[in-house]
Structure 1
Amino acid sequence: MNPRLSALRICLAYLVAACLWTVLSDQLLQLILDESALMPWLTGKKYLFIAVTSLLLFLLLKRQFGHQQRTYAALEESEQRLNRALDAVEDGIWEWDLSNDQVFYSPGYAHLIGVPYCQMGTQIGQWYERLHPDDRESTLATYQDHLQGRSAQFECTYRLRHSDGGYRWIHTRGRVSRDGHGEPTRMTGTSRDVTRQRQTDDHLRQAAAVFEATQEGLLVADVHGKILHINPSFQRITGYSADEVLGRNPSVLKSGLQDDGFYQRMWQALKSDGVWCGEIWNRRKSGEVYPQWQHICAVHDEKGKLTHYVAVFSDLSSIKRSQRELDFLAHHDPLTGLPNRLLLLERIEQALARGERDKSGGALLLLDLDHFKHINDSLGHSTGDLLVKAVAERLRGLLDEHSSLARLGGDEFAVILENRLPQHVSSLAQRLLDAMDAPFEVAGQPIYISASLGVSLYPDDARDVDHLLQHADAALFQAKASGRSLYAFYTPELTARARAHVQVEAALRQALENDELRVYYQPVHDLASGRVVGVESLVRWQHPERGLVPPGEFIPVAEACGLIAAIDTWVLDQACRQMRAWLDQGVLLEFVAVNLSSRVFCREGLEDRVARALRESDLAPQHLVLEVTESAIMQNVDQSVALMQRLRALGVHLAIDDFGTGYSSLMRLKRMPVQKLKIDQGFVAGLPGDTEDAAIACAIIALARSMGLKVVAEGIERPDQAAFLLSHACDFGQGYWYGRPQPASELPWCATAQNVDESV
C-alpha cells in the first residue's frame, strides 16, 4: 500500500464530509428553527462537528497505529529470527553493493577468517588481499563469467588467508541482482570453510589410490561375510575376477589345509580384539595352494556397531621360495653344492653327540689341495673353480652314507666319518689321496694335482667341535710340512707347536710396538783382497725377558701372520740410514744388502717403499742391494721380472739369495735384471771335501761368470772353504770365519762411532 495515496484518500473523504456537513446542516437548521433560536444551534453544530471528527480521527489513528505496531513487532521478530539464524550457521553470508563496492559481512563470515566482527570493514579490497595469489586469476574469471551472464550463479573454491597466517579452503556461492535495465546492482552469497572436507576428500582419494595400486590383495566384506569390494592385486594373486567373487563368501579361497579349529580361533580373535593376522594357506582359481600373510580387521561405525571386515593379504610364495634358497645358500657352498662350514659345524656337533650316546668313535678329515694357487695364477680362477667342482665330485663318489663331505672354502674340504676305527680312517684317507693321482679333465685339458690331509679322531683327540677342528687343522699343517701328498694324524705335539706359534705372534706384535727389534750387520769380504766391501743387514729380536730370540723362531711366524711386511720395511729404513751414516763417517763400504721376504716381494708398491727409504735417508741407490730368494721369484716369474726391472730402474742392485735351492731355469734366469748370485750355505758347508757340494758351487760360479754376474758365498766358517771358493773365482764371501752378525756399534770400523739406531 502506498502511504501517500492512503493519506490523500483520507483527506479527500474528510473534505467531502466536512463540506456536506457544513452546507446541509445549515439548511436543515434554517428549515427547522426560526431566526431567534438559530444562533445557539449553529454554535453547537460547530462544536459537534469538531467532536465527531475528532472521535473519527482518533479511531482511525488508533487503528492505523495498532496495525503499524503489529507490523513493527512482526518485523522485529523476523529480524531476530534472521539474526539467530545467521549466528547459528557456520557459513559466512555477504552482500556486495556493486555500485559503491561496499560489502556487508555476517558474523559467520568474520568467524570464517578469524577476525572479530567489530573489525570487519565494508571494503571489497580486504577480501582481495586475503585471496591466495595462485587462486586470484581463476576466481576473478569465474566472477566475471557470472557477472556477464555466462553462468547462472557464481560458484568457486579458493584459498583465503586466515588471521593465524594460514590459508583456508573456502567454497562460495552467490547470485547477482539486476535492475530493470539488466545492469548488475548487487551480489549476495554464502561462503563455507571446506578445508576439513577437502582434506577428507584428499585422504579418500589417496586411500582409493592405495586400494587400487597396492601390491597386497584387498577385500572388503559385510557383516555377513559377503565380499563387497576387491582391488586389482586381489585378482592378480588369486586369479579370480570381481564378477566371480563379489557377493560370495571368502571361503571360496580356502585350501582345506587348515582345520575348523584354526578358523574358530581366527573368528574368536576378531570378536574379542577386532583384528587377526597370521599365515594362512589359500587356493588360487587355478587350484594352486599357496601361503598368504593375512591381516583382517573389523570395522565399526561411530556407535560401535560392526559394519564391515577388511582383509589385506600378501602372497608369500616367492618369500618362501627365497627362504628355502637362502637357507640352502646359508648352509651350502654355492660352487659345489656341498655343505659349507656352518652346516659342517652342526653335523660335527651331531656326530659327537651320537658318538657319545652310542659309545662309538669317528674322525674329522681336512683335505687341502697342494699348490692350488699355481692353478689359479696360471690358468685363471674360472679354471680353478671347475677343478674344485671336479675334485668335489670325485671325493663324493668315494664316500658312503656314514660319511659327510663339506667344502670349507677355497681348496679345502672336510669329511666327517662316524662309527669308524682308526685303521678304517687311515684306509679311507689314503684312498682319498690316491684318488687325486688320476688327472682331472677341466676345460678340455688334463690337470694333475695332489692333496694333503689331516685327521683328528673323536673322542680320543677331542670331545667338542672347536678342538676337533683345531686338531685336524694342526694335522693338516703337519702333512704339508712333511712334504705334501700325505696324510697325518693329530698328535699333542702339534697343538703345542701351534700354541707356541700364537704366543710368539702376540709377543712379536708387542715387539714392534715396544721397539724391541734390532738390526745386526754381517760383513761381506772380497775373497781376493780380504777387504770388507759391504754388509748384510739381518733382523734380530731383543726380548726383554728371553734375550736374543733366534730368527728361525720368529721369522716364519712373522711370514705366516703378515707382520713380515712391517719388519722388512723397518729393516730397509734402518739399513739405508746406517749406510748413509757410515759413508758420512768416511767408512769405505760399497753396499748394504737387505733381504726381502717372499710375502713383501709379491706385494704392490714395493718400489715406492724402496724409493722412499732412499729419499728419506739420502742414500744413493747404487749402495743398496736387495736380496730375493729364488723361490719367491719363481712364484710368479713374469710378475717378478717386471717388479725387478722397476727396482733396477731405481738404480739399486739385485741379488738372488739361496741360489740353487729353487726351480729356476737358465731361460728364466737370463731375463732377470740381477747383478749377483748367492750360493746357499748348504752348499758351502761341505766344501771342499764333499764332491757334490763342490760341483754345485763350481757350477754356480761358472754360470754367474758366463752371465756377467758376481757371486757371493754365504756360511763360510773355515779358511779352507774360503780358499776353495777363491781358487774357483768366487767374488765375495761372508760367514763366521769373517765375522758374526753384530750391532753396528760393534763392527771394527765403528768401535768409536755411534749406532744409527741411537742417533736416528
Structure 2
Amino acid sequence: MSLHQGAVRLTLVYLLAAGLWIVFSDALLAWLHLPAERIEQVQLLKGLCFVLFSSVLLYLILRAHLHQQARMRRTLRASEERLNLALASAREGLWDWDLGSDKVFFSPGYTALLGLQPTELGNSRARWLQQLHPNDRARHERTIADILNNASQETFEVTLRMRHQDGDYRWIQSRGQLQLDAQGRAERIIGTASDISQRRANEHSLRQAAAVFDATQDGVLVTDSKQKIVHVNPAFTRITGYSPEDIIGRRPNHLSSGRHDRAFYKRLWHALAARGSWSGEIWNRRKNGEIYPQWHCIRAIHDDKGELSHYVAVFSDISALKRSQSELDHLAHHDPLSGLPNRLLFTERVENALKRAKSERQGAVLLIDLDHFKHINESLGHNIGDLLLKAVGERLAAQLAQGMTLARLGGDEFGLLCEHCLDAPQAASLAQLLLSSLGAPFNLERHEFYMSASIGISLFPGDAQTLEQVLRNADSALSKAKSSGREGYAFYTQELTEFARHRVDLVSALHHALDNQELRVYYQPLHDLASGELIGAEALVRWQHPQRGLITPGEFIPVAEDSGLIGAIDAWVLQQACRQMVLWQEQTQVPRFVAVNVSSRLFGRGGLDLQVARVLADTGLDPACLELEVTESAVMDDPDAALALLERLRALGVRLAIDDFGTGYSSLARLKRLPVHKLKLDMSFVRGLPHDSDDVAITRAVVALGHSLDLKVLAEGIERPEQMEFLRQIGCDYGQGYLFGRPQPAEPEPTPAVAAS
C-alpha cells in the first residue's frame, strides 16, 4: 500500500469515528431528557472526551508509524551493507542512470575502478563520457539506443575501455537492466561494473599459448597426475602418427620402443621427483612400428596448493639430426676418395686394440706404401692417380677378414689393423696376400698399370705398448722393406723378419714337396713288452728337402697344420702305409698292423671314414691290419661328433688308438664310451722313468685305467732298458722308442705324394 492510500484511509477512519461519536452522543442526550443546565455540562464533558480520545488515537497511530519507519531504515541499511560488501568482494561498482534527469550515480567501488575519488567523477553522464575511449563511444551509443528502442528489460552486458587515473585504459565490463515506470516508460538503467583487464590479458596469453601449442613443430603431450594422456598437439600426430583419438586416455608407455631398461626410466622419474623436470635423448616407436630418436623435455606441473596436477612433455624428432651427425662423423673419420677409414679412425681403432691386447689377444699393424706411385701422378695427372688409389683400396679391402681395418692414411699410404693376429707367420701370410692381390694389372682410362707395394709390420703388444710405438715401429719396418728393394715386407725386428720369411718359404716349399715327391714315410717298430715280439709299425712322415736334406716333423708339421696342408699329407701317408703293409704281408716276418697318425684337421673335417674305406679298397688291405691314431685333444674338441666318427671307423674293422694320452683334458665318462682298442702313453711321462716319482705315479695310473677299461696300453719314447723293465713290471702291454729301433724307410721307395692328393 502506498503512502497516499494510507493517508486517505486514515482520514476516512477518523471522519467516520468522529461522525459516529457526534450522532450517537447527541442521540443519547436527547433520550436522557436532561435539564438545559445539565445538557451544557454534559456537552462540555463530551467534547473533552472526544479530544482525549482523538489525542490517544493520534499518538498510537504516530507511534506505530515511527516504529515502522525505523524498521524499514534498519532493513535498508542492512541491505545496503550487504550490497556494498558483495560489490567490494567482487571488486565491482554500482551505477544508476536516471534517464529523466540524465544524472548518474556512481558508487565508491565504481570510481575506485578508475582510480578516482567519488567527487571527481560526480553524477554527470557527460563527465563519464570523458573517461570513455573514443573508439568505443559509437558502439556504446548504439547499445543504449537499442535498449531504449526495444524497451527490453533483459539483462545486457557491454565491455568498454575507460581511462584510468594513471592514463592507461582499463577494460570495464558492465552488466545492467532497464527499469520501467508504472506506465511502461523507460525510467532508469541500473547495473554493476568490474575491471576485466587482467582477465582479458590472461585470455590473450592463453590464446597465444594455444596458437603456439598448435603451430609449434615440436610434439607436445600433456598427462594428468595419473599419467593418462589428456591432450596432444598436431605436431605430436605428425611425428608419432597417433591421432588424438588414438592416444588420449592411454599412458605414455604406449609409445615405448623397448630399447631402454628399467634403470633408465628409474633415473628419469627420480629426476622428475627431485627437480621437477627431466631432459634427454629417448627412443620411442611410431604408430607404424618405426623406432626413432627424440629429444625429450618433461616438466611436472603443480596447482596453487602445490599438488601435482599434470605432466607436460615437449619433444622433437632428431632422426635427421642423427643422420647428419652420422654423416658428419663418417666424413670426419673416412677418406672421401676411397671411402676407407682415415688416419683419425685408424689410430682410434689401433689404440682400442692395444687396450684389449693387454689382456685378451695380440695383433698387428701393417703400413702399406705403393711403390713408385708418384711417377703416375707426375706423368698422367692426379685424376688418374686418384682412380688408381681408389682401385687399389678396393683390391686390398677385398682381402680383409673379420677383425681387420683397412685405412687410407694419406697420399699413397694405406694402413691395415689385424686384431686377431696370432703370430708373426700369420702377419707375414697376410702381407703376402696383400702383395699378391696387387699382382693383377689395373685397367683405368685405357691405361694398364702394374702396381707393387712395400709393407712394414709391427706386432703388439710384443713390439709396442703404445699407439706411438706401434706406428713408429711399423714405419721403421716399412723403411726396411723399401731399403731391401721394395715389393716385399719387413717386420720391425730382423729376427721376426727372418723367422716369418722362413715359415712362408717353408709353406711354399711344402707345396712343392707334395708335387715333387720329396716326402717320405718312415716306420718305427712297435713291440710286445712281455714277449719282445714285433707286433706293428707306426708310419711317420719325413721331408727329404733337395737342398736342406732331411727335415724333421717338428719343423714342418706345425707349418703344414697352420697352412692347411696337413690334410693332404695325412691322406698321402695313409695311402703309402696301406700299400706298404700289403707289400709286407707277402714277406715272412711282418708286423701285424701299421699305425697311421690322423691330424686334428683331417679328423675334424668329416668324411674320414669314407676316405679310409676308399684307401682300403684301393690297396686291398685287410682293415684289421690298419690302426688309426687320434690325439686326445682332437677327440675332445667335439666329443659327440668324435664318438660317431670313431664308431663308423670301428665298423670298418680298423684298429683305433688314443695318441699322446695324458696331455689333453679327457673326460673319463666320455673315454669309457669311445670304441678304441689302445691308449698310447705320451713320451713326456716315460722320460723320467723309473726314478721320477710323478712320472711313476702317472704311468701306473694310466696303465691301471687302460686295463680297467679293457684297453691295451702302449708307452712311447722308450730309450733305456730300465724304462722298458719298469713298464713291463707294472703290466704295460706294448712299447715304442729308440730302444727298439729308430724310424727307418721301407723298401721299395714309396710312390709320389701326388697320388694321394
- TM-score under structure 1 normalisation? 0.50
Alignment equivalent of 1:160, drawn from 159, 162, 173: 162
Structure 1 residues 287 and 464, CA, compared in 2 at 3 Å: closer, same or farther?
closer
The corresponding residue for 2:61 is 60
The corresponding residue for 1:79 is 80
Q: Hey, what's the Cα distance between the residues in 2 that align with 1:25 and 1:305?
A: 89
Q: Hey, what's the Cα distance between the residues in 2 that align with 1:139 and 1:387?
A: 88
Instruction: Assess if the C-alpha contact under 8 Å between 2:113 and 2:195 holds in 1.
Output: yes
2:186 paired with 1:169: no
Q: Hey, what's the Cα distance between the residues in 2 that align with 1:77 and 1:150?
A: 32
The corresponding residue for 2:374 is 370
Q: Report how far residue 337 of structure 1 moved.
A: 1.2
2:418 paired with 1:415: no
Q: Report how far residue 329 of structure 1 moved.
A: 2.6
Q: Hey, what's the Cα distance between the residues in 2 that align with 1:341 and 1:150?
A: 93
Q: Report how far residue 472 of structure 1 moved.
A: 9.3
Q: Report how far residue 61 of structure 1 moved.
A: 2.6
Q: Hey, what's the Cα distance between the residues in 2 that align with 1:89 and 1:127?
A: 22
Higher relative contact order (CA 8 A, sep 6+): 2
The corresponding residue for 2:336 is 334
Q: Report how far residue 331 of structure 1 moved.
A: 1.3
The corresponding residue for 2:120 is 119
Alignment equivalent of 1:196, drawn from 195, 198, 209: 198
Q: Hey, what's the Cα distance between the residues in 2 that align with 1:366 and 1:217?
A: 54
2:45 paired with 1:44: yes
Instruction: Assess if the C-alpha contact under 8 Å between 1:433 and 1:486 holds in 2.
Output: no
SS at match of 2:194: strand
Q: Hey, what's the Cα distance between the residues in 2 that align with 1:395 and 1:101?
A: 104
Q: Hey, what's the Cα distance between the residues in 2 that align with 1:108 and 1:261?
A: 60
Q: Report how far residue 286 of structure 1 moved.
A: 3.5
Q: How many residues matched? A: 483
Q: Hey, what's the Cα distance between the residues in 2 that align with 1:390 and 1:93?
A: 94
Q: Report how far residue 94 of structure 1 moved.
A: 1.5
Q: How does 1:643-722 map to 2 (within 5 A)?
A: none
Instruction: Assess if the C-alpha contact under 8 Å between 2:431 and 2:455 holds in 1.
Output: no
Instruction: Assess if the C-alpha contact under 8 Å between 1:159 and 1:168 holds in 2.
Output: yes
Structure 1 gaps of 5+ residues are 492-760
Deviations 1:665-720 (A, max 9, x none): xxxxxxxxxxxxxxxxxxxxxxxxxxxxxxxxxxxxxxxxxxxxxxxxxxxxxxxx
Instruction: Assess if the C-alpha contact under 8 Å between 1:132 and 1:161 holds in 2.
Output: yes
SS at match of 1:114: coil
SS at match of 2:150: coil
Q: Report how far residue 336 of structure 1 moved.
A: 1.9
The corresponding residue for 1:441 is 444
Q: Hey, what's the Cα distance between the residues in 2 that align with 1:38 and 1:400?
A: 158
Amino acid aligned to 2:444: E
Q: Hey, what's the Cα distance between the residues in 2 that align with 1:202 and 1:346?
A: 57
The corresponding residue for 2:393 is 392
Q: Hey, what's the Cα distance between the residues in 1 that align with 2:194 and 2:376?
A: 84
Q: Hey, what's the Cα distance between the residues in 2 that align with 1:353 and 1:265?
A: 31
Structure 1 residues 58 and 288, CA, compared in 2 at 3 Å: closer, same or farther?
closer
Structure 1 residues 169 and 363, CA, compared in 2 at 3 Å: closer, same or farther?
same
Structure 2 gaps of 5+ residues are 493-757
Q: Report how far residue 407 of structure 1 moved.
A: 3.1
Amino acid aligned to 2:391: A
Instruction: Assess if the C-alpha contact under 8 Å between 1:370 and 1:449 holds in 2.
Output: no
Deviations 1:195-228 (A, max 9, x none): 3333333343344444444444444445555444
Q: Hey, what's the Cα distance between the residues in 2 that align with 1:343 and 1:249?
A: 43
Give the % identical residues: 44
Structure 1 residues 229 and 413, CA, compared in 2 at 3 Å: closer, same or farther?
same
Alignment equivalent of 1:345, drawn from 344, 347, 350: 347
Structure 1 residues 296 and 56, CA, compared in 2 at 3 Å: closer, same or farther?
same
Amino acid aligned to 1:370: K
Structure 1 residues 98 and 26, CA, compared in 2 at 3 Å: closer, same or farther?
closer
Q: Report how far residue 397 of structure 1 moved.
A: 5.2
Q: Hey, what's the Cα distance between the residues in 1 that align with 2:151 and 2:292?
A: 61
Deviations 1:113-151 (A, max 9, x none): 223344333333454444445555545544444444398
Structure 1 residues 304 and 227, CA, compared in 2 at 3 Å: closer, same or farther?
same
The CA RMSD over aligned residues, in Å, is 5.3
Q: Hey, what's the Cα distance between the residues in 2 that align with 1:202 and 1:16?
A: 74
Deviations 1:406-465 (A, max 9, x none): 3345x454324677989x9999699879959956524xx538799998979799999865
SS at match of 1:65: helix
Q: Report how far residue 310 of structure 1 moved.
A: 4.4
Instruction: Assess if the C-alpha contact under 8 Å between 1:439 and 1:448 holds in 2.
Output: yes
SS at match of 1:370: helix
Q: Hey, what's the Cα distance between the residues in 2 that align with 1:219 and 1:487?
A: 66
Structure 1 residues 5 and 163, CA, compared in 2 at 3 Å: closer, same or farther?
closer
Q: Hey, what's the Cα distance between the residues in 2 that align with 1:272 and 1:304?
A: 15
Deviations 1:451-482 (A, max 9, x none): 998979799999865688799999999999x9
Structure exhibiting the larger radius of gyration computed from Cα positions: 2
Using the TM superposition, name which of 204-213 and 255-264 deviates more: 255-264
Q: Report how far residue 333 of structure 1 moved.
A: 2.1
Using the TM superposition, name which of 391-400 and 95-104 deviates more: 391-400
SS at match of 2:82: helix
Q: Hey, what's the Cα distance between the residues in 2 that align with 1:150 and 1:58?
A: 46
Q: Hey, what's the Cα distance between the residues in 1 that align with 2:344 and 2:129?
A: 75
